[in-house]
Amino acid sequence: WLPKSVPGAYTVLDPLAVDMDGPAELAWLREPHLWVTPELATAVRKPTPAQMRVIEQMPPEIVSQIRAGHSKVWLSPNICQVCFLDKQPYERYPTPISRHCFDALEFKQDLMAMDRATIRTVKNRILKLRM
């Protein structure tokens, strides 16, 4: 957690638990904040022995803010960086990564509809031949 040090591991935070404050137009003025859940607050204030080992590895500035009772913790640029998949600098929010799966699902649904139409056509011709 020291500046200019190479990290040995990364922690990926839930995007729904992180809030970006600041103007959308000026990316360098936006600051990430982590919403503290009651479970996290309890784990930091009254940790079990297993949780104590993890809390000792957390950045002290985050732990001190949680112990002070803050419901929203400021994430320092030294320990946190926001990254997006498909986002232009002028956009406030990126395109969700799940967007591509909807195209594939829609294509699969179209193929299933074509299969049903083909089956109905073949079924009608077989019935006509038997009559």
Q: So what's the pLDDT on residue 42?
A: 92
Q: So what's the pLDDT on residue 67?
A: 92
Contact by Cβ (8 Å): 95, 86: yes
| Other CB atoms within 10 A of residue 18 CB | 15
More confident residue, 110 or 20: 110
Q: Is the pLDDT of residue 127 over 70?
A: no
- ∠ CA 61-85-9, nearest 5°, is 40
31 membership: H or E segment, kind and range? strand 31-35
Q: Is the pLDDT of residue 1 over 70?
A: no
Q: So what's the pLDDT on residue 111?
A: 92
